[in-house]
Each structure stands twice: as structure tokens, then as C-alpha cells.
Structure 1
Amino acid sequence: MQDDNILKLAYELSETTRNKVDLIEKIMRQTQILALNARIEAARAGVSGAGFGVVAQEISHVSTRINQIAADFRVDVDQYAAQIQEAGTRMSSELRGQRFTDLSRNVVELIDRNLFERSCDVRWWATESALVALAENPEDQDLQSLACSRLATILRSYTVYLDLWVVDQNGKVIAQGRPETYPKALGSDVSSATWFRNAMATRHGDQFAVADIETNPSLDDAPTATYATAIRDKGETHGKAMGVLAIFFDWTPQAQTIVSGIALDETERSHCRVMLLDARHRIIADSRGEPSLKEVYSFNPGTRDKGYDIVEDRIVAFARTPGYETYKGMGWFGAIEYQM
């Protein structure tokens, strides 16, 4: 960045000046020694060397004066260089803080737009006739087979999902798209899952439920973003909730692409950690590798929707989710930590 070049030039100017002052002082020390020797020789010469002694004395005075000027100059240069470096460092930190704040906003906006599409998918697919028919007749094995086939067809086109489930009113999974890959799912009881209860409680077909990023035992403990909505009687928007469609977004590769692909130069990339944080500040995506989903990142946004803080030798920039269209977001943050 340009401000780094300014700091570099200020440092080089300061170093060059110090070196030149050192050289001047060295020459003046040599001059004083020569003047001293000249005075000694003049004293030995007696009256005939008196005039030469006066010249030597003056040379010594000039040398002392130049040494004092050089010393004063060194002090002035050090002070001004320190001020330039301090101002440059502050300017650099402010520019980087603002830039990383914008990039943090970009990170969370990208994931919001992606997850908005997931909310659209679940509401649309919940009106699929095969899924509606099964929700209305959950014990019908032919309808179960048809629903599984339809879910498998969707998954072949939408590769960002781990699996899709149809759940009856009691919380039993009665159809899925990938029974061979995830055999634990079919027949499992998800009635205690928050996303199931919230989906059954939706008032109409335009509403949906979404859960925080969590690992799912029935999906080989893969981290998932779960979206769910009620499957309604006859597929009508205000029909009675007959069951639930749950879709499981394959979180890790999609989120990793976003935090790793943010526009940083090579120097920034080696000093930056780009993250997505949930509302509890858990790290749910990390440019340094797959997060544990247990680490909580320590920062203090307060009531700010975006901004940055300088903490010791770090810049911590963040931006809270703005949501996207009908997806309001979940209070997540994009965050960038920069080691100065």
C-alpha cells in the first residue's frame, strides 16, 4: 500500500541522515585531533609558531561548533522522523481498518445472498406435489418411494446440499434424497430439533425456519446450515401444516470458498485471518482452516453494525449481517483480524 511506502521512505531518510551525521561527527573528531596536534607543534615552535597556533585554535572552535550543530540536527531529525512514522502508522492503520471493514461487510453479504437462495429453495420445494402427497399420507410406501426419487432428482442438480428430508407431523423422517449415503436419517426422530418445531409453527408458506451452523449426527457429523418449512395441505400458502421439509446446506466448502477468496493482496493475505462469526461470536468459517464450531472470537462490536478496533498489534474489523431481501440474517458477522 502507498502509506507503507511513505513509512519506508521516512525510515530510510532518518537512517540516511543519521549515517551522514555520524560521518560528519567522525570527521570533526579527526579535525579536533589534528588541531590539537597543530597547537602542540606551534607551542614547540615558540614565537614563530604563534600564528599557526591561533589558526589551530580557531579550527578547534569551528570543529566543536559543527559537532554541536550535527548533534542538534540529529535530535531534530529523530523527532521529525518519529512524528512522520507515528502519523504514517496511524494513517496506515486507519486506511487498513476502513478497508478491512468494507471487506468484512463483503464477506457477510456474500454468505447472506447465498443463504437467501437456500430460504427460497426450501419454500419452493415444499410445494412439490410428491412431497405434499406424502405429508398428507405418511404411511403410503409408494408415495415414500416417489418422494425419495424427487428429492434425489433435486440433489443431482443442487450440489450444495448434503441431503433433503421430509418429516411427518410427529417428527419422524419419512423420506430423504440420499439414503445410501446417510442411512441413519430415514426413520429417525427429529421432533426435539428446534428447526422442526419452528417450521411446524410457521403461519404460512412464505415463512421458514433456520438453525445455527451445527454438526448433524445423521449426516456423518458434517457442519450444516439447516433450513426448514412446513409442507402444507394441498401445497397452498395458507394450508394446514402437514409435515416439514428440511434441507441441509453443505456448509464447510461453501463458506470456506468465501472466506478464502476475499480480495486481499499477497502481503495482506499472509497477515490476515478472515472469519464468519455467528451471533454468539462462534467462529463458523475461518480462512485458516475448518473451525471447530466451539471457538468464540473475542471482540466487542457493542451496538456498532460495522467498524474496527486496534488492539495492541492487531486490527480487528467487522461488519454485522445486513440481510438480503426477505432473508433478514441471523446476527452474524464478517470479521478480519490483521496482524500489524
Structure 2
Amino acid sequence: MTVTKENNLNVSVLLNELKQANKQMEDVIKTINQIASQANLLALNSAIEAARAGEAGRGFSVVANEIKKFADQSLSTNKKSYEQIQNIQKKANEVIAVRTVDVAFDTIDKIDRNLFERNCDVQAWATFDAIKNCVQDPNNKEKASEASKFMKNIVDIYEVYYDMFAVDKSGKIIAAGVNTHLIGRDVSEREWFKETIRKNDVHVNDMYYSDMMNGHAMNYSCPIRDDQGETIGVFTTRFNWNFIYDIVDSVKVDSQSDIYLINSDGIVIASRDRSGILSQDLSRLQAVQSLKSGKKMGYTIENEFGNGQRIYAYCRTKGYNSYKGLAWSVIVGEVID
């Protein structure tokens, strides 16, 4: 049988139901323990009264001893049962944890694949004649207009981009897909431009808030090369971060579960409830500390004040094909107590 996300969710729900049933059994055993303890006390009191009665109480003493044996056996058996219940709880937690790690892995893998496509996009479009022609002849308004129309068409078709720009080697914006009022602006001091020129290769910025785009974004920048392979400019895109939530929101987890995407510093860059973006630091979690110590994937069971116990599964990006990733990780927190 193929295991789907829905199956995985049902497994988690069933395991939590098993744990609840297990806790109910634990309560039953506690009740039996109380009865056995009371029986033990009754046997003790009966033995004392039998001793006072002397010969007349001998038969009653035998009954008291049998009651004590029964109570002791019940307590001993219940102790073993309680240990088994605790073991079942532990194993159920471990199964939930393993499933949650799978969820974290699946989520970061989907994000990697999405961003890999964005990485491919910028490299492909940087080779198009409309882009190359406008930076080769930056004073030609007709070529700049053609490039802008080309980029606007891409933005409209792909939908996941705020905008894209063609920049000449001096750092001047020659064409823009949407924000054409930015044409002519000098961006030579921007980190993404300088790094693309310096590396002479694709450069990807970490997620940030773009005032220009009025939203969270990522920059993908690639050298524009002429027919001889010489770098003549930079083609750069602005990925709309909101589309990452298509992945985050599709993750099948319990309604009380948390999902976070964090950067290499442990700062939240996406969360299930959209809170704490670029402000919340999860470095306090043992799971994040494990990631910072070099672990790639795993889980921790952590006590949270006022929130009981939680499993925090984590998985660090391994990239996808030529896209190496930015050392991001997914954290999935699931309530277990």
C-alpha cells in the first residue's frame, strides 16, 4: 500500500488515540493500586485484631494473611503493568517523532525543489536575446522596451515573481518587467549585484523584506554574457515569498502542530501562522541547537513551560541538483502531552 500524507496524518492521530487509551489504562491501574493498598491496610488491621483475640482469632488471622498475599501480588503485577504502559507511551512517542521527521524532510525537500526551479529560471532567461541585446546597447530605448515587455510577459505567466530587471555591467537598470520607473537607477552598490559580478556566477540572497516590492522576497541574480562568454551585465529576479506558503500550508499535521522554516541563524523566515517572520529566534530549542552543532536531521523531546511536552523534528536543506541551498531548516513541533 502506498503511504500518502493523509495516511501519515491518520497514523499520527491513531497513535495519539493509542496514547490516550494507554493513559486511561494507567488510571485503571492506579485505581487497582489504591484498592490493593486499602486491602493491605485492612489485612494489617485484621491481623492485629486477630492477635488480640488469641486462639479465637486464629482463623481470622489466616484470612488476613491471604488478603495480604493477594494485595501484594496485585501491587507487584500492577507495577509491571505500569512499566509496560510507560514503555508503550515511549514507543508511541518515538513512532510519532519518526513520522514528524519525515514531514520535516518532505517539507524542506519541496521547498528546495521550488527554489531550484527559481535558480534555473534566472539562468535560462539571462541567455535570451531580448535581455542580452538591451544591456549590449544600453542607450537603445527600443531594445530596452522589448526587454521590459519580455520580462513583463514572464511575470504575468509565472505569477510567482514580483519583478525582474536587466542591469548593465556598470550597475544601471536598463529594463524592468513591472517597476519600469526604476529604469536608470544605479544598483552597483547592492550586495546581489556585486556578488554576482565578483563570482561571475549565480548569486542567491537569503529571504528578506523588500521595501521596493512591499513584501518578503528572494533575489536570484545571474551574469548576462555575450556570444563570446564575456559578462556584460546582470539579470535579476524578485521571487514572491508568499508562494512558499503554498508548500507550508499543504503539510498534513495536527491543528496544534507548529511548522517553521528557519535560516542558518535560527531566525524564522516562514511559519504556519505567519508570525515571527524575520524576528523570532528559535535558537532556544534543543532541535535548533542540534542543527547548529552540525546535525542534519532528527528530533528532540522538549518540555515547554505551560505547554507540556513537544516533539521537535528538524531537517536541514541538502539542496536540489545544482541548487545548494542556503543552510535553511524546517522545524515541525507536535504536541505529545
TM over 0.5, shorter chain = yes
Which residue of the partner structure matches residue 235 of structure 2?
245
Higher deviation after alignment, 28-37 or 255-264: 28-37
Does structure 1 residue 254 correspond to structure 2 residue 243?
A: yes
Does structure 1 residue 329 correspond to structure 2 residue 320?
A: no
Which residue of the partner structure matches residue 15 of structure 1?
27
The TM-score with structure 2 as length reference comes to 0.81
Q: Which amino acid is 2:196 matched to?
A: A
Q: Which amino acid is 2:136 matched to?
A: E
Q: Is the 8 A contact 1:314 1:339 kept in 2?
A: yes
Q: Which amino acid is 1:339 matched to?
A: V
Q: Which amino acid is 1:166 matched to?
A: A
Does structure 1 residue 101 correspond to structure 2 residue 107?
A: no
Q: Which amino acid is 1:241 matched to?
A: T
Q: Which amino acid is 1:297 matched to?
A: L
Q: Is the 8 A contact 1:21 1:70 kept in 2?
A: no
Which residue of the partner structure matches residue 177 of structure 1?
177
Q: Is the 8 A contact 1:32 1:59 kept in 2?
A: no
Task: Summarize the alignment of residues 4-43 of structure 1 with structure 2, pairs less than 5 Å apart.
Answer: 4-19=16-31
2:332 alignment partner, SS class: strand
CA distance in 1, matches of 2:198, 2:274: 37
- Identify the match of residue 298 of structure 2 among 307, 310, 313: 307
Which residue of the partner structure matches residue 5 of structure 2?
none
CA RMSD of aligned residues (A): 3.2
Which residue of the partner structure matches residue 197 of structure 1?
194
1:279 alignment partner, SS class: coil
Change (3 A) 1:310 1:242: same
Which residue of the partner structure matches residue 275 of structure 1?
260
Which residue of the partner structure matches residue 217 of structure 1?
211
Q: Which amino acid is 1:248 matched to?
A: R
Q: Deviations over 1:281-326 (max 9, x none)?
A: 2211111225421222222222221111222222221111121111
1:218 alignment partner, SS class: coil
Change (3 A) 1:90 1:165: same
Cα shift at 1:192 = 2.1
Cα shift at 1:10 = 4.1
Change (3 A) 1:311 1:33: closer
Q: Deviations over 1:129-173 (max 9, x none)?
A: 121111012122222221111111111111010111112222222
Q: Which runs of 5+ in 2 are unaligned?
A: 1-11, 304-308
Q: Is the 8 A contact 2:33 2:78 kept in 1?
A: no
Which residue of the partner structure matches residue 6 of structure 2?
none
Q: Is the 8 A contact 1:32 1:63 kept in 2?
A: no
Identity %: 25
Does structure 1 residue 231 correspond to structure 2 residue 200?
A: no
1:329 alignment partner, SS class: coil
1:102 alignment partner, SS class: helix
CA distance in 1, matches of 2:196, 2:39: 86
CA distance in 2, matches of 1:147, 1:14: 71
In our comparison, the structure showing a higher alpha carbon Rg is 1
Which residue of the partner structure matches residue 40 of structure 1?
none
Q: Which amino acid is 2:27 matched to?
A: E
Change (3 A) 1:292 1:186: farther
Q: Is the 8 A contact 1:31 1:60 kept in 2?
A: no
Q: Deviations over 1:69-125 (max 9, x none)?
A: 354245324422431232123212222222222211111110111111111111111
1:167 alignment partner, SS class: strand
Q: Which runs of 5+ in 1 are unaligned?
A: 38-42, 44-52
Which residue of the partner structure matches residue 3 of structure 2?
none
CA distance in 2, matches of 1:336, 1:31: 53
1:310 alignment partner, SS class: strand
Q: Which amino acid is 1:201 matched to?
A: R
Does structure 1 residue 138 correspond to structure 2 residue 138?
A: yes
CA distance in 1, matches of 2:48, 2:296: 72
CA distance in 2, matches of 1:14, 1:69: 23
Which residue of the partner structure matches residue 293 of structure 1?
278
The TM-score with structure 1 as length reference comes to 0.80
Q: Is the 8 A contact 2:300 2:313 kept in 1?
A: yes
Q: Is the 8 A contact 1:144 1:174 kept in 2?
A: yes
Q: Is the 8 A contact 2:47 2:61 kept in 1?
A: no
Q: Is the 8 A contact 1:10 1:81 kept in 2?
A: no
CA distance in 2, matches of 1:66, 1:307: 52
Counting matched residue pairs gives: 313
